[in-house]
């Protein structure tokens, strides 16, 4: 196996807040310090973590900090992480939209990146003209597009409108057209940001299928960023988790996803309207904080709640699938549990029947809503990843895979066929 | 497949924080030539779609400018035109000047106008300004037709002008105007990513610059003490040569045209260097 992408000590600094006034004087100051006095650039003090929830003295953030990794040729790698973790920045650097502040990236092969579908689409041009324009922007030669034109139009499914200006298209249609162009790029490396979120489910599946083809059959290297865990899991064998600009996990995609779900579950303190703190721990499932469940297994969710004093909180237990659809949304008022006012530490347990969830990744969390006469406040626990396994592989096809009983009975008399043939 | 940037034996592409000062990546630009043509085509199709007059608009602007100039500067102010028919004199200046100023103003907003595309996909950024210069060249070609038609009309009605051998320099003049417009535009667009003020300067700066160029008056009629300043403007020699070639009147020496050439080349090199430095990270500041 050869290395297709080698990322060495890559960091990227961004200036946040207002850019504008005073930049000339600061630029001159910087230039003077670094070039004349040969001092270290005060603008680039390495070391601060990029945590979007805390404020910091400087207005420079390190969106990526000292990133190192290699990607082998033919690998499909999923990059996951929370919003603002630095995933998109990494893709931007790899696709040369912006340059790293330090470090180097070495790439073997032609890179096609899809940070957005339909970049450069011009509303006044027809679908056909836009195929050529968009294809060229993505780096295709004209004859390459000529050769694939039929395939592209076919894949997009908007053949009827191909000579209509794109401004008359529905948004779904232009996404289809745009993805069709992108899917036919010939490149050794394909970089895809979460761009599929726009199409309908059927088209999303078609795109994922196309990308899978690209990776598996043609042996292309794929880098894929998504929040859709089942898509990532289906498409990628290897995973990278980024957190606050640093790589915190690399390895098998499955392990990466479960690492992601369990990452950084530090106690979160929230306050409710009257200033009362409430702590809601991430739930445990069947006593485990890294649960794996058989599809037909029953589960018990346990949540620890600690508070000074709250009145009749509304408590929820929510299970979501990898697409973020909620499959269980159970709620109760503490009054119904025989205790209107909660004060102290409680263990709340929720018993769920056998759900026959389709195998895949789910996340479980709990939530409490506290109402005071003036306003209400909600407290969320962190999520726990739930891996459901089963014999039926139905990923993406159905939500439930219940165990069913099939019966076949011979009724001996073929009256209906006889009637039909006698007519 | 090779990719520009830095190539060593093992890697096709090396992306680093800093690169050499002058690296215009011409090989890469060449590989993307289809894209350049696509942008030119887009500019035209998008320009005349849903207009009634379509390409006729290319003629109207220089035509009306010439009429106004003839009226104000020719008749009211009575400025000299070196004995040439007034409309012909102004149209020559306006056509040539328009090419330069369009190249300059359009190039000077390249980063701002295309921030969205540049932020999402990589292609050699120089493609964009080059496509602007090319689209304008086509436009200029169309406007030259109007100029030639006017020349034929005046030749038929006995207007006083003659074509001289300097007309052979026409391709060079086009190139010089393109390089000047491109170079200045590149410098300005690179600076405006950080200092927006410059973009305000461009719109009226170009207008003022026109009055400092010999568009509405001939260099020969300029008083001696201002003449030096007018000749310092590289566009002056270009417009004068243009008129000398097509109309037979113009004050130009090999030195002044040579000066314009050197100025154009220096500005272009400076423009490309500054543009390339900015191109790599402008997405973060725009």
Following DSSP, what letter does each residue of B81-121 receive, concatenated?
-TTS-HHHHHHHHHHHHHHHHHHHHHHTTHHHHTHHHHTT-
Inform me whether the pLDDT recorded for A109 exceeds 50.
yes
B197–A contact, CB cutoff 8 A: no
Tell me the nearest-neighbour CA distance from A109 into chain B, angstroms.
6
User: Whole-angstrom Cα distance, residue A319 to residue A313?
Assistant: 20
Cα distances (Å, whole numbers) of residue A222 to A77, A111, A179, A190, B80: 6, 10, 16, 5, 69
Residues of chain B with Cβ-Cβ distance to A23 below 8 Å are 194-195
The pLDDT value given to residue A230: 73
At A315-326, the pLDDT tens digits run 999 998 877 778
- Residue B41 to residue A129, Cβ atoms within 8 A: yes
**Average pLDDT in the B3-10 region?**
48
Residues of chain A with Cβ-Cβ distance to B14 below 8 Å are 104-107
For residue B8, give the chain A residue with the closest CA.
A106
Tell me the nearest-neighbour CA distance from A90 into chain B, angstroms.
12
Helices (H) and strands (E) in chain A, counts: 9, 20
Inform me whether the pLDDT recorded for A311 exceeds 70.
yes
For residue B193, give the chain A residue with the closest CA.
A20
User: CB-hemisphere CA count at 13 Å for A373?
Assistant: 0
**What pLDDT band is residue A197 in, cutting at 50, 70 and 90?**
low
Burial (CB < 10 A; 0-12, 13-18, 19+), residue A142, is middle
For residue B281, give the chain A residue with the closest CA.
A98
Burial (CB < 10 A; 0-12, 13-18, 19+), residue A422, is exposed
User: What is the share, in percent, of chain B residues with pLDDT greater than 70?
Assistant: 93
First to last CA, chain B: 32
Tell me the nearest-neighbour CA distance from A243 into chain B, angstroms.
21
Residues of chain B with Cβ-Cβ distance to A102 below 8 Å are 17
**Average pLDDT in the A226-249 region?**
84
**What pLDDT band is residue A43 in, cutting at 50, 70 and 90?**
low
A106–B contact, CB cutoff 8 A: yes
**What pLDDT band is residue A395 in, cutting at 50, 70 and 90?**
low
Inform me whether the pLDDT recorded for B136 exceeds 90.
yes
Tell me the Ramachandran region of residue A103: left when phi exceeds 0, alpha when psi lies from -120 to 50, beta otherwise: left
**Average pLDDT in the A353-382 region?**
82
Residues of chain B with Cβ-Cβ distance to A142 below 8 Å are 34, 37-38
Tell me the nearest-neighbour CA distance from A101 into chain B, angstroms.
5
For residue A102, give the chain B residue with the closest CA.
B17
Average pLDDT score, chain A: 80
Q: Where is average pLDDT lowest: A244-248, A408-412, B68-72, B110-114?
A: A408-412
Inform me whether the pLDDT recorded for B176 exceeds 90.
yes
B51–A contact, CB cutoff 8 A: no
At B193-250, the pLDDT tens digits run 877 778 888 888 999 999 988 888 888 888 888 888 888 899 999 999 999 999 988 8
Q: Among candidates A181, A193, A129, A119, which has minimal Cα distance to A155?
A: A181
Other beta carbons within 10 Å of B2? 11
At A137-164, the pLDDT tens digits run 888 888 989 999 998 999 888 888 989 9
- Residue A107 to residue B121, Cβ atoms within 8 A: no
Q: Among candidates A27, A66, A56, which has minimal Cα distance to A43?
A: A27
Tell me the nearest-neighbour CA distance from B271 into chain A, angstroms.
20
The token pair at B32 is 């993307």
Residues of chain B with Cβ-Cβ distance to A129 below 8 Å are 41-42, 45
Burial (CB < 10 A; 0-12, 13-18, 19+), residue A301, is buried
Q: Is pLDDT larger for residue A82 or for residue B260?
A: B260
Q: Where is average pLDDT lowest: A118-122, A274-278, B270-274?
A: A274-278
Inform me whether the pLDDT recorded for A374 exceeds 90.
no
Q: Is pLDDT larger for residue A193 or for residue A373?
A: A193
A408–B contact, CB cutoff 8 A: no
Inform me whether the pLDDT recorded for A270 exceeds 70.
no
Inform me whether the pLDDT recorded for A19 exceeds 60.
no
Query: Which ranges of chain B would DSSP assign to H, the alpha helix?
Result: 26-31, 33-48, 57-69, 86-107, 110-113, 115-118, 127-156, 170-192, 197-211, 224-232, 234-247, 254-279, 282-285
Q: Please, are residues A25 and A76 in contact by the beta-carbon 8 Å criterion?
A: no
Q: Is pLDDT larger for residue B179 or for residue B114?
A: B179
Residues of chain B with Cβ-Cβ distance to A141 below 8 Å are 34
Tell me the nearest-neighbour CA distance from B232 into chain A, angstroms.
29
Q: Among candidates A299, A248, A330, A204, which has minimal Cα distance to A64?
A: A248
Average pLDDT score, chain B: 86
A113–B contact, CB cutoff 8 A: yes
The pLDDT value given to residue A263: 66
Q: Where is average pLDDT lowest: B85-89, B116-120, B183-187, B240-244?
A: B116-120
Residue A402: what are its φ and ψ, rounded to 5°?
-70, 155
**What pLDDT band is residue A25 in, cutting at 50, 70 and 90?**
low
pTM of the model: 0.74
| Structural Rg of chain A based on CA atoms | 27
- Residue A125 to residue B46, Cβ atoms within 8 A: yes
User: Whole-angstrom Cα distance, residue A49 to residue A61?
Assistant: 7
- Residue A119 to residue B11, Cβ atoms within 8 A: no
**Beta strands A76-80 and A102-107, pairing class:** unpaired
Write b or e for each residue in B150-181: b if 16 or more Cβ atoms lie within 10 A of its Cβ, otherwise e.
bbeebeeeeeebeeeebeebeeebbebbbbbb
């Amino acid at each position: 196996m050869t290395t297709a992408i080698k990322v060495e000590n890559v960091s990227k600094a961004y200036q946040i807040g207002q850019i504008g006034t005073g930049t000339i004087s600061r630029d001159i100051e910087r230039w003077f310090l670094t070039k004349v006095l040969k001092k270290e650039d005060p603008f680039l003090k390495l070391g601060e973590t990029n945590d979007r929830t805390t404020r910091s003295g400087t207005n420079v953030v390190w969106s990526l900090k000292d990133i190192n990794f290699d990607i082998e040729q033919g690998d499909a790698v999923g990059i996951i992480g929370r919003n603002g973790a630095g995933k998109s920045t990494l893709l931007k650097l790899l696709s040369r939209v912006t340059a790293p502040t330090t470090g180097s990236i070495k790439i073997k092969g032609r890179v096609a990146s899809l940070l957005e579908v339909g970049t450069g689409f011009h509303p006044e041009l027809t679908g056909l003209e836009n195929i050529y324009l968009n294809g060229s922007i993505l780096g295709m030669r004209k004859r390459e597009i000529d050769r694939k034109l039929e395939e592209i139009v076919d894949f997009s499914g908007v053949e009827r409108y191909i000579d209509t200006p794109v401004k008359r298209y529905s948004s779904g249609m232009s996404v289809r057209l745009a993805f069709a162009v992108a899917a036919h790029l010939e490149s050794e490396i394909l970089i895809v940001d979460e761009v599929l979120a726009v199409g309908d489910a059927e088209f999303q599946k078609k795109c994922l299928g196309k990308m899978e083809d690209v990776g598996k059959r043609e042996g292309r290297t794929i880098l894929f960023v998504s929040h859709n865990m089942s898509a990532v899991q289906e498409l990628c064998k290897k995973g990278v988790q980024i957190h606050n600009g640093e790589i915190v996990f690399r390895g098998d995609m499955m392990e990466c996803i479960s690492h992601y779900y369990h990452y950084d579950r530090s106690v979160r303190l929230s306050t409710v309207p009257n200033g009362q703190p409430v702590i809601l721990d991430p739930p445990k499932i069947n006593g485990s904080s890294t649960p794996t469940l058989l599809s037909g297994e029953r589960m018990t969710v346990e949540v620890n709640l600690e508070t000074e004093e709250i009145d009749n909180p509304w408590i929820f237990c929510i299970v979501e699938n990898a697409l973020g659809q909620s499959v269980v949304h159970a709620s109760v008022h503490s009054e119904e549990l025989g205790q209107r006012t909660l004060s102290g530490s409680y263990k709340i347990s929720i018993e769920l029947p056998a759900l026959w969830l389709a195998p895949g990744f789910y996340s479980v969390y709990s939530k409490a809503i506290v109402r005071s006469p003036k306003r209400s406040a909600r407290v969320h626990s962190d999520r726990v990843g739930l891996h459901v396994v089963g014999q039926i592989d139905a990923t993406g096809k159905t939500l439930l895979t219940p165990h069913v009983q099939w019966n076949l009975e011979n009724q001996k008399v073929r009256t209906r066929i006889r009637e039909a043939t006698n007519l | 497949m090779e990719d520009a940037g830095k190539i060593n034996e093992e890697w096709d592409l090396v992306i680093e924080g800093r690169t050499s000062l002058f690296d215009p990546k011409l090989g890469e630009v060449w590989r993307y030539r289809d894209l350049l043509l696509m942008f030119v085509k887009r500019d035209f199709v998008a320009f005349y779609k849903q207009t009634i007059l379509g390409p006729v608009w290319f003629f109207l602007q220089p035509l009306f400018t010439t009429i106004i100039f003839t009226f104000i500067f020719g008749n009211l102010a009575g400025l000299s035109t070196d004995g040439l028919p007034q409309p012909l004199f102004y149209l020559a200046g306006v056509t040539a000047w328009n090419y330069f100023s369009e190249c300059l103003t359009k190039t000077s907003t390249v980063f701002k106008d295309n921030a969205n595309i540049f932020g999402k996909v990589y292609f050699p950024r120089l493609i964009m300004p080059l496509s602007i210069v090319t689209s304008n060249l086509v436009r200029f070609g169309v406007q030259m037709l109007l100029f030639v038609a006017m020349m034929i009309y005046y030749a038929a009605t006995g207007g006083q002008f003659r074509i001289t051998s300097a007309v052979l320099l026409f391709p060079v003049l086009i190139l010089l105007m393109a390089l000047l417009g491109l170079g200045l535009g590149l410098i300005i667009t690179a600076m405006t990513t950080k200092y927006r003020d410059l973009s305000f300067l461009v719109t009226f700066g170009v207008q003022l610059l026109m009055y400092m160029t010999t568009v509405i008056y001939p260099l020969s009629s300029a008083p001696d003490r201002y003449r030096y300043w007018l000749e310092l403007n590289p566009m002056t020699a270009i417009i004068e040569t243009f008129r000398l070639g097509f109309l037979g009147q113009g004050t130009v020496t090999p030195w002044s045209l040579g000066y314009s050439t050197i100025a154009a080349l220096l500005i272009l090199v400076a423009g490309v260097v500054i543009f390339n430095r900015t191109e790599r990270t402008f997405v973060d500041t725009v």
